[in-house]
């Protein structure tokens, strides 16, 4: 290694043009990181999906204990039955919203789920599809 070249390189980095380049590139990285984090934060604040990620998974349930039906949030690894936010019992079973009247319909595994309000029938999904959505009318009209 040429010591003279190394010394000149050090001098070049510490003084003059090299220093300016080194400084501006690190400043640029800081600016980029700030812009990126602000952008990500803004997205987290405005995108529902991002908010859901932060708070857990939104699930629809029907409580077999107290009859409460609605939506709540659980951790991503959680499975049914879930803890009912009203009575605290772990009796919240899988449910979904009726596409016709928005009533919470209890999901009947491997059967037919029927809306208690409008009677619309849904062909139920297998239990291994926790995020799936039953197809309206697949089991025929009421
Ligand atoms: Zn309950
Ligand atoms: Zn309905």
pLDDT, one tens digit per residue, over 20-37 is 666 677 777 777 777 777
Query: ω before 6 within 30° of 0 (cis)?
Result: no
Runs of H (alpha helix) within 15-133 = 16-46, 48-55
pLDDT score for 68: 97
- The predicted model scores a pTM of 0.52
Q: Which residues are within 8 A (CB) of 45 and not within 5 positions of it... i.e. 6 or more apart?
A: 51
Q: How far apart are CA 115 and CA 99, in angstroms?
A: 10
Q: How far apart are CA 111 and CA 130, in angstroms?
A: 15
Ligand 1 centre from 70 Cα, in Å?
Answer: 10
The closest ligand to the CA of 136 turns out to be 2
The closest ligand to the CA of 99 turns out to be 2
Ligand 2 centre from 142 Cα, in Å?
Answer: 11
Instruction: Read off the pLDDT band of 86 (50, 70, 90).
Output: very high
Please state the rounded mean pLDDT for residues 102-128. Answer: 87
User: 61: part of which helix (H) or strand (E)?
Assistant: strand 57-63
Q: How far apart are CA 102 and CA 118, in angstroms?
A: 10
pLDDT score for 22: 63
Q: Residue 122: what are its φ and ψ, rounded to 5°? A: -125, 135
pLDDT score for 10: 82
């Amino acid at each position: 290694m040429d010591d003279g070249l190394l010394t000149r390189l050090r001098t070049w980095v510490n003084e003059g043009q090299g220093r300016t380049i080194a400084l501006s590139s690190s400043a640029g990285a800081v600016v980029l990181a700030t812009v990126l984090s602000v952008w990500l934060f803004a997205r987290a604040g405005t995108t529902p999906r991002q908010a859901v990620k932060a708070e857990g998974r939104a699930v629809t349930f029907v409580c077999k204990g107290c009859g409460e039906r609605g939506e709540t949030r659980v951790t991503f690894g959680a499975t049914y039955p879930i803890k009912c936010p009203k009575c605290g019992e772990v009796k919240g079973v899988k449910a979904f919203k009726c596409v016709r009247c928005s009533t919470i319909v209890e999901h009947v595994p491997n059967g037919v789920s029927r809306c208690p309000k409008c009677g619309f029938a849904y062909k139920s999904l297998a239990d291994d599809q926790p995020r799936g959505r039953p197809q309206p009318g697949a089991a025929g009209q009421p």
